Chain A
Amino acid sequence: MVRLSRTALAPLALAACTIAVAACGSSNNKTTSGSRSSTPAGLSLSGLASTKPNPSAQHMGGTLNVISAEGWEHLDPQASYFQIDYLVVYATQTPLYTFTPTSDTPQPLLASGPPQVSPDGKTVTVHIKSGWKFSPPVNRVVTSKDVAWAFERMFNANVQNGYASGYFPIVGASQSGTTDKPISGISTPDATTIVFHLTKPFGETMAKALTLPGTAAMPAGSTVAADKSSPSKLDSNPTTQTFTGPYMIKSYSPGRQLVLVRNPNWSRSLDGIRPAYADKIVWNAGADPAVAARQTLDSTNLLMADGPPSPELKLAYQTKKSQLSIAPLGAYYAALNTTVPPFNNVNLRRAVLAIENREAYLLARGGQLVGEVATHFIYPEVPGFQQAGGFKGFGEDFLASPTGNKTVACKYMKLAGYPNCKYTGGYGQYGSVLIVGANTDPGPQEMQVVQSGLQQLGFKTTIKAVPQQTMYSKFCGYVKAHVNVCPTAGWIEDFPDPYAALFVPFSGEAIVPINNSNWAVLNDPVVNHLIDQGAGISDLTQRYQVFAQADKRIVDDAAAIPEVWANNALVEGSKVHGVLDPWNDDWNLSFSSPS
């Protein structure tokens, strides 16, 4: 999961209440605010900002001004794994492929055409465009060796890439080394061809992962000295990077200001996708979210890169709808630990899902403006959503009532061996059901919702509210902690594909001892097999159907309570034209224009 800004998915401060819901249309059409008139819950979406490209109305030139509460973490493309960072990295670098604001099919960017995946799915061949040049002072043409170098950097432990080992199972690649070593599974037969040999049939999914910023070429050998440090010095001083995108980083003050200027060696015609309207982009970070939101709404020329807090969101919705965009962004769920008592019993888990009031979750997060009650784990903006049942879901009785159903819960309690519909069994090491969540809003409220449902079924409960990072690293993300319920879990896909939505949070193969993101510690061989199987299928219809089966199985396993399909809201000035990247649900600076 790309790490989201604090105002987005992760269980964070009140700003999390800014997340808003929009409906999604077909399986491969991510709906932004302009294409539907209302959400399934009846929230009107008409009159919201248009966030699609509009070449006839957008003007070249000028300075694009961006403001945010969050600063940047990693602007090194091979280290970058954060929503806010992606705005910069995708404007200054060029991955092999990209998703555009109007398509969720990967488009060749540095590549010259679609990737060729061998029939066994274990070889991926990419041809890159000829004549693409690095920025000054390197100035030379990008070759396949530079792309290979980027992959070697991703597997350098000093660069600390968060997704390389998950999405690029390349022969000979290992993240334990600390030098940019050649990877035996990558070959470059000529200057414009690169071949990846994989350890498993994963080519179709890797083809989508080639849209990630780590695939952006880096001059081979240029980063040896920088990568000897941990973290790499290329990350601490991003102005020293070499760029292949429409923009270069001219100046950088961590957490304060970033200035991008045009890359003189970038060719619009060779790029073919990014228009790059602005001559300059000035980004001021570290603003107070409420102040920044008001400044943006009152301005003509600001883009706010993170979401507005709840009061400003409501203000924008009521009075300045044309400056507000609402688009789908991931999902929230409450994970139930499937490996320790009491929730190592599937019927008990189903009973919990049946009793829980999911509408109360939605209200805790901010109501209709922030989402819809979820019914499964492939969420609206992910292709395959319709095959997975769409908004209605799969029809399980234990999820039929969004406000909870005691009768159905009782049915499953009886199946679990508790005829009185009250739990009287044992607990794990904590002597009760331990619920751990973030101590910032709406974490405590969500924990109380869970607790209320559990107590109705007779469970003894203990709530522990901790800082978010503590929750990740010491409790919910730490397998040995054996936390029973983590109600403030969230997920957004790294790229628009159901594999990215399901693998890390629900596959047993993704479980790691520390900083684990499969918080339910679900290790169902059927789920694992379906996800693996789906990852290797190229036919989209078939692929989505297999993942839908995996989604259904996860629902049937009752590994987590699907809480909310969330949306994210963004605001912009009255004259600026912000264009949204639906898969990242944030602005695409190469498509946005000052006017």
Chain B
Amino acid sequence: MVRYIIRRLLWVIVLLIVVSFVTFTIFYLLPSADPAVLRAGRAPNPALIAHIRHVLGLDRPFYVQYWRYIKAVILHFDFGYSYQFSQPVKSLILSRLPATISLTVGAVVIWVSVGVTAGAVSAIRRRSFLDRFTMIGSLVAISAPSYWLGLISLLLFSKDIGKFHIFDGANTYVGLTANPGRWFGSLILPWLVLAASLAAFYARLLRSNLIEAMSEDYIRTARAKGLRERRVIWRHGVRAAITPVVTALGIDIGFLLGGAVLVETVFNIPGVGRLAYDGIQNSDLPIIQGTVLFGAFFIVIANLVVDIAYAFLDPRVRYT
């Protein structure tokens, strides 16, 4: 197992270098805007643009530019300077990571607990009213775009502009260490919005897998041994059916840690996703490159964690 982990970590490094190369190449070969011009502002004179081009290293060959970039990333964790904010990209991303982690962790707790429970109940009580209600509800939740859902939830439930003044609205996020109570209150609605479609997807996924698992021979054996039904379902059925859910969970967590762009934008949560959105809006290439690398990092790490988790979930899985 240790060898496996080490091998995977080495592949993570290789993968990140490949991602950085592809991203850099795309922006070098197909730049949406001239970085020197973006930095220079309006009506700059040619001397100013030439100076900025030299400072940014844009007058060097492509491979020199990439080498400088990747060396700075690996040796100094330096992702360059944002054109728009005039700040180091690293500090921008790190300052926004807590908000993204807050949003992701809370949403994960909600969607896993709701999704798994709903999926299990639906599978056990197949074709019941509860099953049909849950599955129709999940279809609606999956179909609703999160941006739209966020806006509707604000218009319905936020204390300032909502019809029913229940939850804190947009622009109310504060850090956990600044004010835990307000932190929690400001994230309830974003958590629910972010968790809605994912809980629905997980419910449907678990339902179909659990239905299949519950028809297996070992389930019949477990029942024949006299185990209580609840133990049969959760200890034997769900455990076997949960593997694809764990896979999806890993990918989703990794993806969200790279930034839940739409939810962060609607609720103005200053996370990495919002930063990426601002970068794209402003063609701020260092930010785009930095957030892409961060996102890729979290996704590959999440996948590694999921693969390791398999070894504990499924005794048949052994890594060498």
Question: B270 to A253, Cβ gap below 8 A?
Answer: yes
A135 within 8 A of B: no
Q: B283: which A residues are within 8 A, CB to CB? A: 467, 469-470
Contact of A160 among B40, B265, B282 (CB under 8 A): B40
Question: A467 to B33, Cβ gap below 8 A?
Answer: yes
Question: B87 to A254, Cβ gap below 8 A?
Answer: yes
Question: B270 to A165, Cβ gap below 8 A?
Answer: no
Q: A73: which B residues are within 8 A, CB to CB? A: 84-86
Question: B42 to A291, Cβ gap below 8 A?
Answer: no
Nearest CB to that of B280 among chain A residues?
A: A467
CB distance from B247 to the nearest CB of A (A): 33
CB distance from A179 to the nearest CB of B (A): 12
User: For chain B residues 225-261, which have a beta carbon within 8 Å of chain A?
Assistant: none
Q: Count A-B pairs with CB separation below 8 Å.
A: 152
CB distance from A311 to the nearest CB of B (A): 11
9-residue interface stretch from A111-119, A325-333, A339-347, A512-520? A512-520
A236 within 8 A of B: yes
A230 to B88, CA, bound (A): 12
CB distance from A377 to the nearest CB of B (A): 17
Contact of B268 among A165, A288, A504, A513 (CB under 8 A): A288
User: Are A74 and B86 also in contact (CB < 8 A) when A286-B268, A472-B33 are?
Assistant: yes
A253-292: CB near B (< 8 Å → 1, else 0) gives 1111000000000000000000000000000101110111
User: Are A474 and B34 also in contact (CB < 8 A) when A74-B86, A295-B161 are?
Assistant: yes
A288 to B51, CA, bound (A): 36
User: For chain B residues 278-295, which have a beta carbon within 8 Å of chain A?
Assistant: 278, 281-283
User: Are A255 and B278 also in contact (CB < 8 A) when A73-B85, A160-B40, A517-B42 are?
Assistant: yes
Q: B38: which A residues are within 8 A, CB to CB? A: 469, 473
Nearest CB to that of A236 among chain B residues?
A: B86
Contact of A6 among B33, B45, B87, B281 (CB under 8 A): B281
9-residue interface stretch from A170-178, A442-450, A581-589? A170-178
Nearest CB to that of A165 among chain B residues?
A: B45
User: For chain A residues 163-194, which have a beta carbon within 8 Å of chain B?
Assistant: 163, 165-166, 174-176, 178
Nearest CB to that of B282 among chain A residues?
A: A469
Contact of B41 among A81, A254, A294 (CB under 8 A): A81
Contact of B171 among A165, A284, A298 (CB under 8 A): A284
B207 within 8 A of A: no
Question: A175 to B33, Cβ gap below 8 A?
Answer: no
Nearest CB to that of B275 among chain A residues?
A: A255
A1 within 8 A of B: yes
Q: A235: which B residues are within 8 A, CB to CB? A: 86
B90 within 8 A of A: no
CB distance from A506 to the nearest CB of B (A): 13
Q: A231: which B residues are within 8 A, CB to CB? A: 39, 81, 86
Question: B33 to A474, Cβ gap below 8 A?
Answer: yes
Nearest CB to that of B49 among chain A residues?
A: A514
Q: A521: which B residues are within 8 A, CB to CB? A: none
Question: B160 to A71, Cβ gap below 8 A?
Answer: no
Contact of A163 among B43, B88, B282 (CB under 8 A): B43
A548 to B56, CA, bound (A): 43
Question: B268 to A284, Cβ gap below 8 A?
Answer: yes
Q: A67: which B residues are within 8 A, CB to CB? A: 171
Question: A162 to B47, Cβ gap below 8 A?
Answer: no
User: For chain B residues 120-168, which have a beta carbon within 8 Å of chain A?
Assistant: 151, 154-155, 160-161
Q: B88: which A residues are within 8 A, CB to CB? A: 236
A45 within 8 A of B: no
Residue among A67, A158, A469 with most chain B CB within 10 A: A469
Question: B41 to A473, Cβ gap below 8 A?
Answer: no
Question: A512 to B44, Cβ gap below 8 A?
Answer: yes
Question: A157 to B47, Cβ gap below 8 A?
Answer: yes
Question: B270 to A290, Cβ gap below 8 A?
Answer: no
B95 within 8 A of A: yes
A477 within 8 A of B: yes
Question: A288 to B265, Cβ gap below 8 A?
Answer: yes
Q: A510: which B residues are within 8 A, CB to CB? A: 43
B266 within 8 A of A: yes
Q: A176: which B residues are within 8 A, CB to CB? A: 47-48, 51
A470 to B30, CA, bound (A): 11
A414 within 8 A of B: no
Q: A160: which B residues are within 8 A, CB to CB? A: 39-41, 44, 48, 52
A67 to B171, CA, bound (A): 9
Q: A290: which B residues are within 8 A, CB to CB? A: 151
A178 to B160, CA, bound (A): 49
A460 within 8 A of B: no
A178 to B54, CA, bound (A): 12
Question: B278 to A286, Cβ gap below 8 A?
Answer: yes
CB distance from A531 to the nearest CB of B (A): 15
Question: B266 to A291, Cβ gap below 8 A?
Answer: yes
B32 within 8 A of A: yes
Question: B42 to A162, Cβ gap below 8 A?
Answer: yes
Question: B48 to A287, Cβ gap below 8 A?
Answer: no
A170 to B176, CA, bound (A): 52
Question: B47 to A469, Cβ gap below 8 A?
Answer: no
Listed in ascending order, the chain A residues whose CB lies under 8 Å from chain B are: 1, 3, 6, 67, 71, 73-74, 81, 157-158, 160-163, 165-166, 174-176, 178, 230-231, 235-236, 253-256, 284, 286-288, 290-292, 294-295, 298-299, 466-467, 469-470, 472-474, 477, 504, 510, 512-517
What 19 new A-B contacts, CB under 8 Å, besides A287-B171, A295-B169, A469-B32? A71-B85, A71-B278, A157-B48, A157-B52, A162-B41, A175-B45, A175-B48, A230-B51, A236-B81, A255-B85, A290-B151, A295-B161, A469-B282, A473-B33, A512-B44, A512-B45, A513-B46, A514-B46, A515-B34
